Amino acid sequence: MISKTVLETLERFVPRENIRPGEPMSRHTTFRIGGEADCFVEIESTEQLIQLGRYLQMIELPCLVLGNGSNLLVSDRGYPGVVLHVGARMQQIQVQGDRLVAQAGASMAQAARTAWEQSLTGLEFASGIPGTLGGGVIMNAGAYGGEFSQIVSQVKAVDREGNVLELDNAAMEFGYRTSAIKNQPFTVVEVTLQLARGEQDAIQGRMEELARRRKEKQPLEYPSAGSIFKRPEGYYAGELIMKSGLRGCQIGGARVSDKHCGFIINTGKATCEDVRDLIAHVQERVKACFGVELETEVIYIE
């Protein structure tokens, strides 16, 4: 529960209409799962983010920075603190020659569309990933042979003390679904992507091809967090799960997708505990069948 004093102080930094106490997190994750956050705040600028971050640190109140919530599993108990949402109010995109400079709240789909409109190639892989650029860069999101490590030129981030850091590609230390700042108390606020000139029709064709492949192979009709497990070296997680006899396995409202076994879907009323129990069951079965330990991509928030 957020005190009246804290709420009144938050209003000094952001407009009152941007502050929502007791906001269900199920509204802000692609899994459509999660209890109430004590307080949910829409962020409009880097300065607001810095000021709120400093204040919340000073009063030692837990703080979570959220983008599109596409890779999160939030506890049914909700989040005991303040959620700072870097989303629709921080999504400006500028094109500077063959570079795309975007605020962290811009969606990957929006950025890919802007690149296409400007005949810039290199971002097609992200056109169907349901997340923001900030989250995509932190996770080094990728698909169909492309990932952010290939195109990131510079990342602007804010640390816990409110300092603005400028990190080039090397400093980001990108790896498979990770980066140097993934487990650091940094918040990405702006991303510069180095793209290349291309043919607009070819770019559109590639985006349409990837959209068809996603629709054919992924359970897009259900809420999910995308691929639940990282790809184990030498294997495909979905194939191991399928060969373990777990296609369609269900606990509560959580189900291993029949279309793609690497996905766990919310069939309508799944809880966080349903998903966590199903993940544990899948990991145990795959380990027993193949001796492979599946590592999750999804991030737990509790």
Which phi and psi (to 5°) does residue 273 adopt?
Answer: -65, -35
* C-alpha 127: how far from chain center: 14
pLDDT (mean) for 87-114: 96
pLDDT score for 185: 86
Q: Is beta strand 63-66 parallel, antiparallel or unpaired with respect to 79-85? A: parallel
CA angle 139–141–147, rounded 5-degree value = 125
Cβ neighbours of residue 233 under 8 Å, at least 6 residues apart? none
Alpha helices in the chain (DSSP H): 4-10, 46-58, 108-117, 133-139, 169-172, 200-217, 237-243, 272-290
pLDDT (mean) for 248-267: 97
Q: Which residues are catalytic?
A: 177, 227, 297
Residue 269 Cα distances to 76, 99, 266, angstroms: 12, 43, 7
Asked if residue 155 lies in contact with residue 190, where contact means CB atoms within 8 angstroms, the answer is yes
In angstroms, rounded to a whole number, what is the distance separating the alpha carbons of residues 147 and 137? 9
pLDDT score for 217: 93
| Mean pLDDT, rounded, of the chain | 95
In angstroms, rounded to a whole number, what is the distance separating the alpha carbons of residues 33 and 41? 19
**What is the four-CA torsion angle of 111, 112, 115, 116, rounded to 10 degrees?**
-140
In angstroms, rounded to a whole number, what is the distance separating the alpha carbons of residues 144 and 97? 26
Residue of 185 and 43 predicted with greater confidence: 43
Percent of the chain with pLDDT over 70: 100
pLDDT higher than threshold 90 for residue 293:
yes
pLDDT higher than threshold 90 for residue 101:
yes
Q: Is beta strand 299-301 parallel, antiparallel or unpaired with respect to 72-74? A: parallel
For residue 264, name the pLDDT band (cuts at 50, 70, 90): very high
Residues in the chain: 302
In angstroms, rounded to a whole number, what is the distance separating the alpha carbons of residues 76 and 273? 7
In angstroms, rounded to a whole number, what is the distance separating the alpha carbons of residues 302 and 294? 21
pLDDT score for 135: 93
pLDDT score for 194: 98
Residue of 108, 130, 137 whose CA lies nearest to 218? 130
Asked if residue 117 lies in contact with residue 215, where contact means CB atoms within 8 angstroms, the answer is no
pLDDT digits (tens, 9 = 90+) for 155-198: 999 998 889 999 999 999 999 889 999 888 899 999 999 999 99
pLDDT digits (tens, 9 = 90+) for 203-218: 999 999 999 999 999 9
DSSP lists the bridge partners of residue 79 as 37
pLDDT higher than threshold 90 for residue 280:
yes
pLDDT digits (tens, 9 = 90+) for 117-133: 999 999 999 999 999 99
pLDDT score for 167: 97
Asked if residue 126 lies in contact with residue 112, where contact means CB atoms within 8 angstroms, the answer is yes
